Amino acid sequence: MSTAVEASEGQVANGDGSRSVPFRRQVRGYVALMKLRVVELLLVTTVPVMLLAAGGVPDLRVVAATLVGGTLSAGAANAFNMVIDRDIDRVMHRTRHRPLVTGDLTPRQAVVFATLLTVASTLLLGFGGTWLAAALSVGAIAFYVVVYTMWLKRRTSQNIVWGGLAGCFPVLIGWAAVTGSLSPAAWVLFAVIFLWTPPHYWPLSMRYREDYSSVDVPMLGAVRTPAQVGLQTVLYAWATLACSLLLIPVAGMGPLYAVVALAAGGWFVLETHRLYARAVAGERVAPMRVFHASIGSLSLLFIGIAVDALLH
């Protein structure tokens, strides 16, 4: 009976009592370690930045190397993260199907995979772009794994504020891959992502409040009231909008970008105000509306950057 159950789960007993996982499930597990749906948003911001840095269309070989290298780099950070967090992933409802929890992969396999991704991404960004881009990539991985995952995540409700710095690195990597340097415009873009990250993630932490509480991870949405979280999202959304407008004088952006930045940022700000108003009134909040608006508004902002760069 137990053999039949194990077979139905896709695992087969070996003679030594261990379990062998079918190759197809292992492949799916490796892909899952990289969290490619999260990486997509990083790539959406990277290409427009490269267009802006180049003042048009950059060398397509550099673009390809940067996108692939950036994907591998982010995938490595996510894989290391899953190794470290496998204890809480086993408890949280939304993460209990991850490959290290289900047994599709072992921690050792995940560490080897993440290490290989780190090496491959560094070499690809170095030889295909610039070594400054490669160094920034390594720094982003180290920051996400050591500073955020190992230090901040389980210690402070401000974990996302500072841990989110790792998610700001793709814009610097894209800029450095094209120019080999970092200009003031690159740092403004870095600041935009830095300010955008908390109000993007805090609504998600509100949605999964019970999950985070069950593992004592002090995400703001799990340790503060909806009204307190709502106020923070409002403040950060306004700061994001203001910072995005700084790109106009710093990078010489045109009227099209200004309109897009105001529209996209205004949408995000509006949704955060709605969340806060409902929370203050004691009504049922819809945090995922803010979460999806944050993604949509950032995507529109960077599309505006790309189009403006191409028109100039």
Residues 149 and 213 in one domain: no
Computed over every residue of the chain, the mean pLDDT equals 92
Q: Which of 153, 183, 158, 159 is nearest to 171 (CA)?
A: 183
- The answer to whether 230 and 280 have CB atoms below 8 angstroms apart is yes
Residues 38 and 95 in one domain: yes
Contacts of 83 (CB under 8 A, 6+ apart): 100, 107, 110, 111, 114
Q: Which of 172, 187, 186 is nearest to 140 (CA)?
A: 172
Residues 306 and 159 in one domain: no
| Chosen domain end from 180, 200, 235 | 180
Quote the Cα angle for 232-235-240, to 5°: 120
Whether residue 19 is contained in a domain is answered as no
The CATH number of the domain holding residue 254 is: 1.20.120.1780
Domain coverage including residue 271 = 183-312
Whether residue 165 is contained in a domain is answered as yes
Whether residue 71 is contained in a domain is answered as yes
Q: How many CB atoms lie within 10 A of CB 162?
A: 17
Whether residue 302 is contained in a domain is answered as yes
Residues 83 and 171 in one domain: yes
Q: How does pLDDT run across 120-166, given as a tens digit for each residue?
A: 999 999 999 999 999 999 999 999 999 999 999 999 999 999 988 99
| Chosen domain end from 180, 208, 241 | 180
Residues 173 and 253 in one domain: no
Number of domains in the chain: 2
Residues 291 and 230 in one domain: yes
Q: In angstroms, rounded to a whole number, what is the distance separating the alpha carbons of residues 44 and 41?
A: 5
What's the pLDDT at 6? 37
- The answer to whether 205 and 163 have CB atoms below 8 angstroms apart is no
Q: How does pLDDT run across 233-256, given as a tens digit for each residue?
A: 999 999 999 999 999 999 999 999
Give me the helix-helix angle, 287-311 and 184-207, nearest 10°: 160
Mean pLDDT of 262-274: 98
Whether residue 285 is contained in a domain is answered as yes
What stretches of the chain adopt beta strand conformation (E)? 12-13, 19-20
Residues 37 and 158 in one domain: yes
Q: How does pLDDT run across 51-108, given as a tens digit for each residue?
A: 999 999 999 999 999 999 999 999 999 999 999 999 999 999 989 999 999 999 999 9
Contacts of 157 (CB under 8 A, 6+ apart): 218, 219, 220, 223, 224
Q: In angstroms, rounded to a whole number, what is the distance separating the alpha carbons of residues 147 and 136?
A: 15
Residues 227 and 84 in one domain: no
Q: How does pLDDT run across 1-25, given as a tens digit for each residue?
A: 333 333 333 444 443 334 688 999 9
What's the pLDDT at 98? 95
Residues 171 and 190 in one domain: no
Whether residue 13 is contained in a domain is answered as no
Indicate the pTM of the whole model: 0.90
Residues 175 and 190 in one domain: no
Mean pLDDT of 264-291: 96
Within 143-224, residue ranges assigned H as helices are 159-163, 169-179, 184-207, 209-214, 220-223
Give percent of the chain with pLDDT exceeding 70: 94
Residues 135 and 95 in one domain: yes
Both structure tokens of 40: 């997509």
Whether residue 98 is contained in a domain is answered as yes
| Chosen domain end from 180, 213, 242 | 180
Q: How many CB atoms lie within 10 A of CB 4?
A: 8
Q: In angstroms, rounded to a whole number, what is the distance separating the alpha carbons of residues 193 and 242?
A: 12
Q: In angstroms, rounded to a whole number, what is the distance separating the alpha carbons of residues 144 and 146?
A: 6
The CATH number of the domain holding residue 77 is: 1.10.357.140
Distances (CA, A) of 155 to 13, 25, 134, 158, 221: 40, 34, 30, 9, 14
Whether residue 242 is contained in a domain is answered as yes
Residues 76 and 174 in one domain: yes
What's the pLDDT at 312? 77
What's the pLDDT at 43? 77
What's the pLDDT at 10? 41
Mean pLDDT of 182-192: 97
Q: Is the pLDDT of residue 192 over 60?
A: yes
Maximum separation of any 2 CA atoms in the chain, in Å? 71
Tell me the CB-side half-sphere exposure of residue 171, using CA atoms within 13 A: 25
Q: In angstroms, rounded to a whole number, what is the distance separating the alpha carbons of residues 271 and 287?
A: 9
